Amino acid sequence: MLALSDTAGVILLVLGVVFVVAAGVALVLRSRVTREPAPDIPPAMEPGPSDPALETPLLQKLQGWGVVLVAFFVVWLPYNWLIEPSTNLEQEKALRTEAIERGRRSVELFSEENQLGVGCVRCHGPELRGGVIPAGTGWAYPPDLTTICGGPSTGHPLIKSVTDIQNTIEQGRGVMPSWSIRYQGALDDQQINDIVNYLVHMSSENVPFEDNICINPDAVKAVNSPSASPAGTSGATGSTGSSSGATGATGATGASA
């Protein structure tokens, strides 16, 4: 997509204004051209107007409007090139804010007042800081989602990018069911994207930027490098309360359950 730099746009805008002013002055001066007075002939004896006399005013009028139209585009196009980047940025921020708010409502319980509610808090706790749920003959411990963007550094060893959060919500993991309609779930792509946006926004407030695999490309490269330490693996799963002592379903999900 072609775009002008700020300097080039300002130059074109100034030239356009100069052109408009010059065109206006020329039209005014042209209209003030003095003509010699016509002879005093009785109206009944005056000859009819010639073709040039009839066509010239119309032609001048059309030319004048053509100049005005060209001058308008000379000013309007650079102006829009200058403001378009900031306009697009504001629109993007507004859309992201709306998505985060929908995601915040989605993780809450469904109610008459909150019909977007999916109920992630049932398993992940009232503040999404982790919970305890029955799993078979024991217990499972859904993870703390307020630090999901920390990945392995905050006890989520299987979460190494935003894509992992998205895939976990869509496809499920362990005792967590799939939520995408692509995998017999109940949520469409927009609803899942809203939840992911909210989780990224929320957890980014609790995770240092250098460790944030959601917004820091360097952190993503670090956790996916061959030399990355598998730290936090022990925090990925929660031990069950069964008599056999077997570990419960994995809790390293970036999703809401």
Nearest to 25 by CA among 64, 76, 78: 64
The confidence score (pLDDT) of residue 10 equals 72
pTM: 0.64
Give residue 25's Cα distance to chain centre.
46
Q: In a structure prediction context, what are the per-residue pLDDT tens digits for the chain, which is 257 residues long?
A: 344 566 776 777 777 778 778 877 777 776 665 566 667 777 777 776 777 777 788 888 888 899 999 989 988 998 899 999 999 999 999 999 999 999 999 999 999 999 999 999 999 999 999 999 998 899 999 999 999 999 999 999 999 999 999 999 999 998 999 999 999 999 999 999 999 999 999 999 999 999 999 999 999 999 998 876 554 443 333 333 333 333 333 333 444 43
**Antiparallel, parallel or unpaired: β 237-239 and 247-250:** antiparallel
DSSP 91-131: HHHHHHHHHHHHHHHHHSPP-SS-TT---THHHH-TTSS--
H or E element that contains 11? helix 6-31
The confidence score (pLDDT) of residue 228 equals 66
What are the residues facing 138 on neighbouring strands? Answer: 135
The confidence score (pLDDT) of residue 235 equals 38
The confidence score (pLDDT) of residue 212 equals 96
Q: Domain limits of the chain?
A: 1-30+64-107, 121-250
The confidence score (pLDDT) of residue 14 equals 79
The confidence score (pLDDT) of residue 47 equals 73
Cα–Cα distance between 16 and 83 in angstroms, integer? 16
